[in-house]
Amino acid sequence: MELEIVNPCAAGIDIGSRSHFVAIGQGSKDVREFGVYAEDHLALIEWLIENDVTTVAMESTGTYWQNLFTALQSAGFDVLLANGKFTKNIKGKKTDVLDCQWIQKLHSLGLLSGSFLPDCATEQLRTYCRHRTNLLEMAGSTSKKMAKYLRLMNFRLDVVVNDICGLTGLSIISLICDGETDSQKLAALRHGNCRKSEEEIAKALQSNGRKDFLFALSQEFDMYNDLQKKIAKCDDQINQFMKQYFRKNPELKKLKASTKGHKRVTKNTPKSFDMNQVAYQYFGGVDLMEIEGVSHSTVLSIMSEIGPEGFKKFDSAKQFASWLRLAPNNKISGGKVLSNKIPKGSNRLKIALRQAANVIGNLKNANLHNFFIRISIRKGRSAAITATARKLAIIIWNMIVKRQAYTPPNVYEFLDQKRKRIVRELQNKIAKFDIRTDEINFSNS
């Protein structure tokens, strides 16, 4: 039995860092090697056109595929980007020539599935937001180094303030870097919201006079300030990008979101624009901030990683959760379940949803918190975080694709409602365990 050729005019490309191997058939003369420069891409496209190729498959190797992918799409080819684990050859030696021929064979037979790719606007926003995340991680690393040098200088600022990069902490560090060692003058910079008194802060700021640590602290403090300026510029760039996006879609600009006073605004929240309002307009009137546990950073990750059009590429919420690798990977053989674990692998959106789920676990009197606690009691907190993240993914997909508003059930119950619910639960337990009335001993007291 022979397999049917689905894509007769197909080519396969093995992506490399210094050269690309292209196969238009299974013969030795059907394979050519091209460089990675722009003129090499043009030569590759001309060769494919000469051989009447209409569709091309390549594997997603690092970031080396992106320029060639864009060039092939601009030339009018149907380009399929496949995950590397689906193009791995099972037998034989591994060479670049054999790899590109194997990809060409799989694509000709229609055995390759394409990876998810966001639209152009989402891809540009993703670049800004990922760069912003990298800057935040660098700033976090710098703050840890500042805490270390302060501790080595016997400035125990980390004991008397919750965050050394807060208003009180940064003011004191700035004065320390200027050479001030008087604990009373340093403690006088205490902000009004700081819980510790000036006397206790002064006790924690007794310097040992080490100049080497002071120099290192000054360097890290300057680097932290530079990173904060870069983050502010990145926020401005995101704001400009969103303004250009709304100019192209003026109907979205008319939408107005409700205020979210209960959502906490941290120092890492973008300051150049209203995240609540921008997200509401970007998703066409869908208010993701109504979901408990979903913060400004979570919404920014959803906007940049998948976008409003990306959700529509998944036919169902289950497919979306499976793509995020938040659904069990059931392996059944002979009617026996061999494994049902969550698949390995992660992306930034999955991490953001898991962080939101962890926050939900710390909330009180919330609908999703009750779900989190039920799972946590039975299977542990780690499983509860994954299950709640999957539930968040399902809710968000339904809100954006099906336009279903998030309406959690009202947790408040009147006394008669609570009594009826408890009576119904008791009746179910009596029926489940087949308890007779004479076995229940009620005391008159």
pLDDT for res 85: 82
Phi-psi region of 177 (alpha: psi -120 to 50; beta: other; left: phi over 0): alpha
pLDDT for res 442: 62
Burial class (CB in 10 A: 0-12, 13-18, 19+), 230: middle
Same domain, residue pair 396 and 274: yes
Q: What is the CATH number of the domain that holds 200?
A: 1.10.287
The answer to whether residue 172 sits within a structural domain is yes
The answer to whether residue 439 sits within a structural domain is no
Compute how many other C-beta atoms are within 10 angstroms of the C-beta atom of residue 370. 14
Percent of the chain with pLDDT strictly greater than 90: 69
Q: Once rounded to an integer, what is the mean pLDDT over residues 257-282?
A: 88
Q: Once rounded to an integer, what is the mean pLDDT over residues 245-251?
A: 92
> How does residue 426 score in pLDDT terms, banded at 50, 70 and 90?
confident
**Structure tokens belonging to residue 82:** 């496949």
pLDDT for res 161: 92
Same domain, residue pair 82 and 149: no
Residue 165 is given by DSSP the state: T
The answer to whether residue 432 sits within a structural domain is no
Same domain, residue pair 78 and 125: no
φ, ψ of residue 351 in degrees (nearest 5): -60, -40
The answer to whether residue 316 sits within a structural domain is yes
Interatomic CA distance for residues 343 and 372, integer angstroms: 21
pLDDT for res 433: 85
Interatomic CA distance for residues 297 and 132, integer angstroms: 11
The answer to whether residue 421 sits within a structural domain is no
> How does residue 41 score in pLDDT terms, banded at 50, 70 and 90?
very high
pTM of the model: 0.84
CA nearest neighbour of 302 among 242, 348, 240: 348
Same domain, residue pair 239 and 134: yes
Q: What is the CATH number of the domain that holds 98?
A: 3.30.420.140
Same domain, residue pair 283 and 386: yes
Number of domains, the chain: 3
Same domain, residue pair 151 and 31: no
Same domain, residue pair 176 and 146: yes
> How does residue 132 score in pLDDT terms, banded at 50, 70 and 90?
very high
pLDDT for res 20: 95
pLDDT tens profile 391-407: 999 999 999 999 998 88
CA nearest neighbour of 368 among 356, 383, 380, 351: 356
pLDDT tens profile 349-378: 999 999 999 999 998 877 898 899 999 999
| Higher pLDDT, residue 243 or 3 | 243
| Higher pLDDT, residue 425 or 376 | 376
Residues 122, 123, 128, CA angle at the centre, nearest 5°?
95
Q: Once rounded to an integer, what is the mean pLDDT over residues 328-343?
A: 84
- Domain residues for the domain of 156 are 121-243
Residue 65 is given by DSSP the state: T
pLDDT for res 340: 81
- Cβ-Cβ contacts under 8 Å for 248 (sequence gap 6 or more): none
CA nearest neighbour of 356 among 327, 387, 318: 387
Same domain, residue pair 82 and 205: no
Interatomic CA distance for residues 97 and 357, integer angstroms: 46
φ, ψ of residue 183 in degrees (nearest 5): -65, -35
pLDDT tens profile 142-166: 999 999 999 999 999 999 999 999 9
Same domain, residue pair 374 and 286: yes
The answer to whether residue 282 sits within a structural domain is yes
Residue 1 has pLDDT above 70, yes or no: no
Integer CA distances (angstroms), 161 to 151, 152, 195, 196, 293, in order: 13, 17, 8, 7, 26
Interatomic CA distance for residues 424 and 76, integer angstroms: 64
pLDDT tens profile 205-245: 999 989 999 999 999 999 999 999 999 999 999 999 999 99
> How does residue 3 score in pLDDT terms, banded at 50, 70 and 90?
confident
pLDDT for res 125: 95
The answer to whether residue 431 sits within a structural domain is no
Residue 412 has pLDDT above 90, yes or no: no
Same domain, residue pair 73 and 125: no
Same domain, residue pair 127 and 45: no
Compute how many other C-beta atoms are within 10 angstroms of the C-beta atom of residue 279. 22
Residue pair 4/13 in contact by the 8 Å Cβ criterion: no
* Mean predicted lDDT score pLDDT of the chain: 90
Q: DSSP letters of 352-398? A: HHHHHHHHHHT-SS-HHHHHHHHHHHHH-HHHHHHHHHHHHHHHHHH
pLDDT for res 414: 65
The answer to whether residue 418 sits within a structural domain is no
Q: What is the SS3 assignment for 306?
A: coil
pLDDT for res 444: 54
Same domain, residue pair 185 and 299: no
